[in-house]
Amino acid sequence: MMTLRRFRKLADSYGADLQRWPERQRAQALALIGVSEEAQAIITRARELDEAITAAGAARDARVWDGEGADAPLQRLRENVAGRIRQPSPVRVAGLIGLHSPAASRYRPQRVGWVGLATAAGLAVAAGLTLGIYYSPSAPPEDLTALLQPAPLQVLTE
Amino acid sequence: MDWEGETDGPDSSTDDSRDAELLARSATGDRRAFDRIVARYGPLALRLAARIAPDRHSAEDVAQEAMVRIWHRAADFDARRARFTTWLYRIVVNLCIDLRRRPRPVPLPDDFDTADPAAGAEQALEHDERRAGLARAMKELTPGQRAALTLVYDEGLSGAEAAAALGVTTKAVERLLARARAQLRDRLLADGDDAEART
C-alpha cells in the first residue's frame, strides 16, 4: 500500500482530483483514502486549495480579456499572423530547391508540376527581357570609365 | 472569456491527422491551411499565454510569435513523434519564460484605469478579496511554476504530458507544482490571518 508520505507528496503536487495523479498510483491512493483519516484530511485541504486556484485562474482570465468579446483577440491574432507570414517560408524555399523536408515530402500539391514550374520560369524570363529593354541605359555614364580604372599601385603598397 | 469552439477537441486521432495534414500543407506555403491552424489553436495559445505571461499584451505577442514560428517550422513537425498541441504548449511556454529574461518596459497593471468603485462595488471587492489575493500570488510564481500549474490544472494534462510540453522530467513537474501550491497556500493563509486581524 502507498505510504502516507508518498500520498501527501502527490497531493501537494496534483491536488485532490485523483484523475490528475499518475495513473499507476490512483488505485493505491484510493485504497489509502478508504482506510486513513489523515489521507482524507489531506484530500480535503488539497480540495480547498484546488477550488481557490481554479477560481483565481478564472478571475484572471476574465480580467485579462475584460471588455472584449471572445473573438476579438483571436481575430487580431489571425490578422497579425497572416500579415507576418506573407513572406515566403524558408522551408518552402528549401523545398523548391530540393532540400529534404519531412512534412513537405508527405504532402504534394497535386496541381503543381513541371508545367507550373515551366510557366513560372517563362514568366520570369519575359519579365527580365522587358525590364532589360525598357530600363537599360543607352550609354554608360561619363564617370564609368574612371571608375573602371585600376587602383593606383601605391594604394596597394601603402 | 469563453474559449469554446473548434479548439478544445484535439484529442482524437482524427484531429491529430487533420493537424498533420494542415501543417504539411502549411509547410508548402499554403497560408489558408495555416490560417485554419491559427483559428483552431489560437484560442489555446492565447489562453495559455495569458495564464503565464505577465500581462495581456505580452500574452498576445507570445501567441502571435508562437504561430509565426510554427509557420516557419511547419516542415519540422512529425506527427509520429509528438502531438501538435504538445509542440504548441512547448513553444508558448518557452516564449513566456523568455519574456522574463528580456528587458522590457514595465507594463501598466491589468486593472489600470478601471472604473471608480460605485455603490456596491466596494462590497463586491471585499467579497473577492481572497480571490484577488490569490490571483496576485499566482502572478508572483515563476513562469515555470505557472506553466506547470496551467498545463495540469487548466489544460488537464497528466504529469507526463506536462513534462513533455515543458521539456523536463515528470519529477520536475511534480516539484514545480508542489512549490507553486505551497506558495499559494502560504499566501492564502497569510491573507486569512490579515482578514482575522482586521475583524
Q: Is residue B180 part of a domain?
A: yes
Q: What is the pLDDT of residues B34-64, one digit of tens each?
A: 999 999 999 999 999 998 998 889 999 999 9
Question: Which range (A5-14, A15-24, A28-37, B129-138) has the least confidence?
Answer: B129-138
B26 and B76, same domain (yes or no): yes
DSSP-assigned letter for residue B152: I
Q: Is residue B61 part of a domain?
A: yes
Distance CA B34, CA B74 (A): 9
Q: Is residue B119 part of a domain?
A: no
Please report the pLDDT score of residue B54 as a whole number. 86
Q: Could you list the residue range(s) of the whole structural domain that residue B54 is in?
A: 11-105
A20 backbone φψ class: left, alpha, beta (φ>0; ψ -120 to 50):
alpha
User: What does the block give as the cell for B71?
Assistant: 509557420
B92 and B35, same domain (yes or no): yes
Q: Across chain B, how many H-helices and E-strands are there? A: 9, 0
Distance CA B10, CA B15 (A): 5
The list of chain B residues with pLDDT below 50 reads: 1-10, 105-117, 119
Please report the pLDDT score of residue B45 as a whole number. 96
Please report the pLDDT score of residue B178 as a whole number. 97
Residues in chain B: 199
* ipTM field: 0.76
Backbone phi, then psi, for A139, in 5-degree steps?
-145, 150
- Domain boundary, last residue among B89, B105, B121: B105
B89: exposed, middle or buried (Cβ count in 10 Å: 0-12, 13-18, 19+): buried
- Can you spell out the DSSP letters for A33-78? HHH-HHHHHHHHHHHHHHHHHHHHHHHHHHHHTTTS-TTHHHHHHH
Non-local (6+) Cβ contacts of A101 within 8 A are A91, A94, A95, B27, B75
The overall average pLDDT reported for chain A is: 74
- Domain boundary, last residue among B105, B120, B147: B105
Placement of cell 500579415 in the chain: A83
Query: Could you tell me which of B154, B119, B140, B117 has the C-alpha nearest to residue B191?
Result: B140
A20–chain B Cβ distance below 8 A for any pair: yes
Name the residue among B31, B39, B73 with its Cβ closest to that of A85. Answer: B31
Chain A residues in contact with B57 by the CB 8 A cut-off are none
Name the residue among B23, B35, B132 with its Cβ closest to that of A78. Answer: B35
- End-to-end, the C-alpha distance of chain A in Å comes to 87
Kindly list the domain boundaries of chain A, sorted by start residue: 4-64
A29–chain B Cβ distance below 8 A for any pair: no
- Domain boundary, last residue among B37, B72, B105: B105
Distance CA B178, CA B170 (A): 12
Which CATH number do you get for residue B165?
1.10.10.10
Please report the pLDDT score of residue A111 as a whole number. 47
Is the pTM for the entire model greater than 0.80?
no
B87 and B18, same domain (yes or no): yes
Q: Is residue B114 part of a domain?
A: no
User: What does the block give as the cell for B90?
Assistant: 512547448
Residues in chain A: 158
B94 and B138, same domain (yes or no): no
Please report the pLDDT score of residue A65 as a whole number. 74
Q: Which of residues 83-112 of A touch B (CB under 8 A)?
A: 84-86, 88-92, 94-95, 101-104, 106-107, 109
Q: Is residue B74 part of a domain?
A: yes
Q: Is residue B4 part of a domain?
A: no
Which of A13 and A59 is assigned the larger pLDDT? Answer: A13
| Segments of A1-158 assigned E as strands | none
Distance CA B50, CA B35 (A): 21
Looking at the predicted structure, is the pLDDT value of residue A17 above 90? yes
Q: Is residue B1 part of a domain?
A: no
Please report the pLDDT score of residue A110 as a whole number. 46
| Band (A146; pLDDT cuts 50, 70, 90) | very low
Looking at the predicted structure, is the pLDDT value of residue A107 above 60? no
Q: Is residue B115 part of a domain?
A: no
**% of chain B beyond a pLDDT of 90:** 51
| Band (A56; pLDDT cuts 50, 70, 90) | confident
Q: How many CA atoms lie within 13 A of A120 on its CB side?
A: 7
- Count structural domains, chain B: 2
Which of A108 and B70 is assigned the larger pLDDT? Answer: B70
In chain A, whose CA is at the least distance from the CA of B171?
Answer: A13
A53–chain B Cβ distance below 8 A for any pair: yes
